[in-house]
Amino acid sequence: MNTLSLTPRRLVMALVAAGAIGALGATGAGLVGARSDAHAQATAAAVAQPAQAANLPASLPAVATPNFADITARNGAAVVNISVVGSSRAMEEGEGDEAAERQDSRQGPQGMSPDDPFFDFFRQFGMPGIPGMGPRAQQPDTPMRGEGSGFIVSSDGVILTNAHVVRGAKEVTVKLTDRREFSAKVLGSDPKTDVAVLKIEAHNLPTVKLGQTSQLRVGDWVLAIGSPFGFENSVTAGVVSAKGRSLPDDSFVPFLQTDVAINPGNSGGPLFNARGEVVGINSQIYTRSGGYQGVSFAIPIELATRVQQQIQTTGKAQHAKLGVSVQEVNQAFADSFKLDRPEGALVASVEKNGPAAKAGLEPGDVVRKVDGSPIVGSGDLPAYIGQAMPGQKVTLEVWRKGESRTLTATLGDASEKAVKQAKDTSDAGKGKLGLALRPLQPNEKKQIGVDTGLVVAGASGPAALAGINQGDVLLSINGTPASNVEDVRAAVAKADKTVAVLIWRDGNKIFVPVRLG
């Protein structure tokens, strides 16, 4: 599998495939397939940074390593193994469009059993020369079994786990450390955050104590308990690598990144801090191979409990939407928009009559803060908005045409249409713009829904290097509408190092930075 060439997006898809494997545990083909399951092996190396660099005293007191044995002894009994039974067709019907993108044929290559840990990975992404091992192959209605992890949050049997662990399940069984087994009811699941809530009929059960990620620092010790590959109640440890990590998978989760070893079967298991409090639910890995490679992600416990409360109250979770498509602000865009640093979410398109449009947000705006919280990467915006509630008002600090302004938006319901992240384009080259343009015909304007624009008849030089292609429609340059060729020339003449070119392509509007030199 190391021979596969995977882009960053493919890497995230690889962890999705690992999730399918992870639900298998050691017993069978995975019913679970949304995201990679989690678990950990101990990585115990704390690297001391120079005291001067951190403005710390030259001599630091020695800090004892957390007693992982005590944490495990106190909490191990509250961590459960979850096994599920369902069918491939139930999984697909339960997921709608999302499942259509992920579910494939269960037919494997000759000699590979569905029990093989890498079966789902090759089924998902294909194997050269093997028929039926590629995306969107026809999937029969096949009985499926899978396993994951979870943890008890109330003594009357409420359990938190990942939504992908129980996706499409017809039967869910929870096994405790004392070997008792209970049939579980899925109270609800939320694919947007990958959180599910289960209930078993039992009393006086051991529970975990919940912590706060706000008190967690990068470099702090963390510990995971789960069932990697079906090995129940396995313990692994590591450190927090980053907080508030946004992933390019349209997720609403500001993940905790750790180097705790997370493997298939750990999905839904708890992540503990050094005090033995749960700070996250292990959910994903970032991988080239389909297995653990040192980068794991957990859902912050505050977000998980907020979803839990909604599910227990209403049976479902709600998320807000702003109604925009956003993309990253790189250095070229920052130069073009006269930003002091390449941070924020660049608005590529605004949903007609949506919350953003009603608030006055426009394509080309750069959202820099929401309710005072900085937006550094474009993924920070959908992650923040997705945790809000429909009807909630948010204050947006945006950068428009060289100056900052403040807008107020009343958020909509994400179940109508999720906030999405636009696909980025490559960096531009040097020289003139390099576009051959022609006016849009009336029928073309009507077809794509614009009043002005110019069709790219040919692209060369910087424009071609930036990814602009023949057939794209040029809508604006640095916010100036591309009504005619003279307007384009004038906008380029006034530009400095780069121009931000807004184009229409295949029904989407995206900004392309073109470096003029």
Half-sphere exposure of 252 (CA within 13 A, CB side): 26
**Mean pLDDT across the chain:** 76
Span 164-221, pLDDT tens digits: 999 988 999 999 999 999 999 999 999 989 999 999 999 999 999 999 998 999 999 9
Determine the length of the chain.
Answer: 517
Q: Token match 């060369």: residue?
A: 460
Residue 425 CA to residue 413 CA, distance in Å, equals 29
The CATH number linked to 505 is: 2.30.42.10
In-domain check, residue 205: no
In-domain check, residue 46: no
Q: What are the E-state strand segments in 167-220?
A: 169-175, 181-183, 185-190, 195-199, 209-210
Handedness of CA 346, 351, 354, 359 (dihedral sign): positive
At 136, the amino acid letter reads R
- 63 pLDDT exceeds 60? no
In-domain check, residue 67: no
For residue 487, give its domain range: 435-515
pLDDT, residue 392, reads: 92
**What region does 360 belong to: left with phi over 0, alpha with psi -120 to 50, or beta?**
left
In-domain check, residue 158: no
Distance of CA 75 to the CA centre of its chain: 29
In-domain check, residue 507: yes
**364 in the same domain as 335:** yes
First to last CA, the chain: 41
pLDDT-derived band at 61, boundaries 50, 70, 90 = low
Span 119-148, pLDDT tens digits: 444 444 344 443 344 444 445 556 678 889
pLDDT-derived band at 478, boundaries 50, 70, 90 = confident
What is the tally of structural domains in the chain?
A: 2
**443 in the same domain as 364:** no
- 352 pLDDT exceeds 90? no
In-domain check, residue 10: no
pLDDT, residue 485, reads: 81
**What region does 431 belong to: left with phi over 0, alpha with psi -120 to 50, or beta?**
left
Of 130-134, 241-245, 298-302, 473-477, the poorest mean pLDDT is in 130-134
From 386, 421, 456, give the residue that closes a domain.
421
**359 in the same domain as 413:** yes
pLDDT, residue 177, reads: 94
**476 in the same domain as 414:** no
Higher pLDDT, 379 or 299: 299
Which residues are part of the catalytic machinery? Answer: 164, 194, 267
**443 in the same domain as 379:** no
**389 in the same domain as 367:** yes
In-domain check, residue 100: no
**511 in the same domain as 462:** yes
In-domain check, residue 375: yes
At 461, the amino acid letter reads G
Q: Label residue 116 exposed, middle or buried (CB < 10 Å: 0-12, 13-18, 19+).
A: middle
**345 in the same domain as 416:** yes
CA dihedral 241, 162, 97, 134 (to 10 degrees): 70
**453 in the same domain as 416:** no
Q: What is the DSSP letter of 153?
A: E
Higher pLDDT, 502 or 41: 502
From 396, 421, 446, give the residue that closes a domain.
421
From 367, 392, 421, give the residue that closes a domain.
421
**444 in the same domain as 413:** no
Two tokens, residue 353: 């009559």
Span 307-319, pLDDT tens digits: 999 999 998 898 8
Two tokens, residue 511: 């900004």
Q: Whose CA is closest to 119, among 28, 5, 242, 247? A: 28
Q: Residues 94-120: what's their mean pLDDT?
A: 38
pLDDT-derived band at 430, boundaries 50, 70, 90 = very low
List, as own/partner pairs, every contact residues 104-107 make where C-beta atoms lie below 8 angstroms and the sequence separation is at least 24, other chains included: 104/134, 104/135, 104/136, 104/137, 104/139, 105/132, 105/133, 105/137, 105/138, 105/139, 105/140, 106/29, 106/139, 106/140, 106/142, 107/132, 107/133, 107/137
**353 in the same domain as 394:** yes
**331 in the same domain as 358:** yes
pLDDT, residue 227, reads: 92
